[in-house]
Amino acid sequence: MKNIAILGSTGSIGIQTLDVARKNEDLRVVAVSAGKSVEKLEEQIREFHPLLAAVWDEKAARDLKTRIADTDTKVVSGMEGLLELASMPESEILVTAIVGMIGIRPTMEGIRAGKAIALANKETLVTAGHLIMPMAKKYGVSILPVDSEHSAIFQAIHGEENKEIHKLLITASGGPFRGRTTEELRRVTVADTLKHPNWVMGRKITVDSATLVNKGLEVMEAKWLFDMDLDHIQVVVQPQSIIHSMVEFKDGAIMAQLGTPDMRLPIQYALYYPHRRYLDGDRLDFTKLHEITFEVPDMETFRGLPMAIQASREGGSMPTVFNAANELAVKKFLEEKIGFLDIYEIIAQSMERHKKIAHPDLDEILSVEQDTYQWIESRW
């Protein structure tokens, strides 16, 4: 029996993790959590009977307590609740399916408690990779990638020494606006932006995919996960999202992982690594697959990727500014308070005014995050 605790069980990755658990009797869900979606959480509690449910919002947590008073599930709230979930003695694997850099502290708490981390929450590594990776090494815990590209790379390098890798090739769909000009992007709506060509995902990552910020975050995530420098990470547009990423080895051989766009595969791979299990669902059918095409990313129009690379090259607290500015800009875009191109402007100007801290500790990262939010709020 493998016991898993899920941070963010009511979201896209969380729900798919529960589907994997539903189909594998030896997976036991010991904790679920949400920001404030208590109805979904109640359903999950009644189906999976976890020991713990963590809800960020205090009022929603009180509502949940009343709703599930007839069950044995304990309800906790706020950051203390997320930390209690992350370190609960009954779990072995912590699935970080929460969105945003709020995942940093619970992820660190899980590592400190010796939990293997099935990591979907890329914002944590982007902003605190320099703290998380050494910490995981110190506590002897595995960071198992869930993000599809990083899972693909992890699958491709399985059994290989890192030193034999020449470069990582991270694939990108190009998002819903691939091929559009800046002038055309000025007029796109939230509804247009949320139509990803291949994947059904949460709203924030879907916007990130459209701006190519997602690919920028993934380059930074790959740098930390696979200890690669930026000059050996290349983004390749693969519009059909069939090749999930590739690794070029020293001798020129390239290993790729292919599959249909279904996040349950990387989730299940992380939960059972190094073993593979049967997974129901669509498979690639090469009698019907007509083409797999490639393009170079348009970095002039889709500034999310070059700005992420710049933030990563500058290092220190700059990736935190990049990420925090993007998180708030995406929130404002989804609330229809700003336009699509303003996301780039907010990130660029936030980075421009920031005085970099070379080696930020956790408190400094969190304070740079707050400072970035305050500065943006005072201007947009």
Ligand X SMILES: CC(=O)[C@@H](O)[C@H](O)COP(=O)(O)O
Ligand Y SMILES: NC(=O)C1=CN([C@@H]2O[C@H](COP(=O)(O)OP(=O)(O)OC[C@H]3O[C@@H](n4cnc5c(N)ncnc54)[C@H](OP(=O)(O)O)[C@@H]3O)[C@@H](O)[C@H]2O)C=CC1
Binding site for ligand Y (CB under 6 A): 8-14, 33-37, 56, 82, 97-99, 102, 120-123, 147-148, 199, 201-202, 204-205, 263
Q: Is 164 annotated as a binding residue?
A: no
CA distance 265 to 213: 24
| Under rule CB under 6 A, residue 172 binds ligand X | yes
Q: Is 215 annotated as a binding residue?
A: yes
CB atoms within 10 A of CB 159: 5
CA distance 102 to 204: 14
Q: Is 12 annotated as a binding residue?
A: yes
Q: Is 183 annotated as a binding residue?
A: no
Dihedral sign from CA coordinates of 51, 53, 58, 59: negative
Tokens coding 103: 């995942």
56 binds, among ligand Y, ligand X, Mn ion, none (CB under 5 to 8 A by kind): ligand Y
CA distance 53 to 129: 27
Q: Where are the beta strands (DSSP E) in the chain?
A: 2-7, 27-34, 52-55, 74-77, 93-96, 116-119, 143-145, 165-172, 233-237, 243-249, 254-258
Q: Using CB under 6 A, pick the residue from 10, 77, 96, 214 that binds ligand X.
A: 214
Tokens coding 373: 């939010």
Q: Using CB under 6 A, pick the residue from 63, 147, 248, 327 that binds ligand X.
A: 147
Nearest-approach distance from CB 148 to ligand X, in angstroms: 3
Instruction: Kindly state the helix (H) or strand (E) to which residue 185 belongs, with its residue range.
Output: helix 182-185
CB under 8 Å to 251, separation ≥6 — which residues? none
| Under rule CB under 6 A, residue 263 binds ligand X | yes
Q: Specify the residue, 244 or 332, whose C-beta has the smaller distance to Mn ion.
A: 244
CA distance 238 to 244: 9
Q: Specify the residue, 32 or 376, whose C-beta has the smaller distance to ligand Y.
A: 32
Q: Among all residues, whose Cβ is closest to ligand Y?
A: 11
3-state secondary structure of 261: coil
Binding footprint of ligand X, residue count (CB under 6 A): 12
Q: Specify the residue, 35 or 339, whose C-beta has the smaller distance to ligand Y.
A: 35
116 binds, among Mn ion, ligand Y, ligand X, none (CB under 5 to 8 A by kind): none
303 binds, among ligand X, Mn ion, ligand Y, none (CB under 5 to 8 A by kind): none
- Encoded one letter per residue, x for contact with Mn ion by CB under 5 A and - for no contact, window 129-148 reads ------------------xx
Task: Please give the single-letter amino acid code of residue 244.
Answer: H
Q: Is 295 annotated as a binding residue?
A: no
Return the closest-CA partner of residue 65 out of 77, 78, 82, 81: 77
Interface residue list for ligand X (CB under 6 A): 147-149, 172-173, 175, 199, 205, 209, 214-215, 263
Mark the binding-site residues for 1-deoxy-D-xylulose 5-phosphate, compressed into ranges.
122, 148-149, 173, 196, 209, 214-215, 218
Site of interaction with Mn ion (CB under 5 A): 147-149
Q: Binding site for Mn(2+): residue ranges?
A: 147, 149, 218
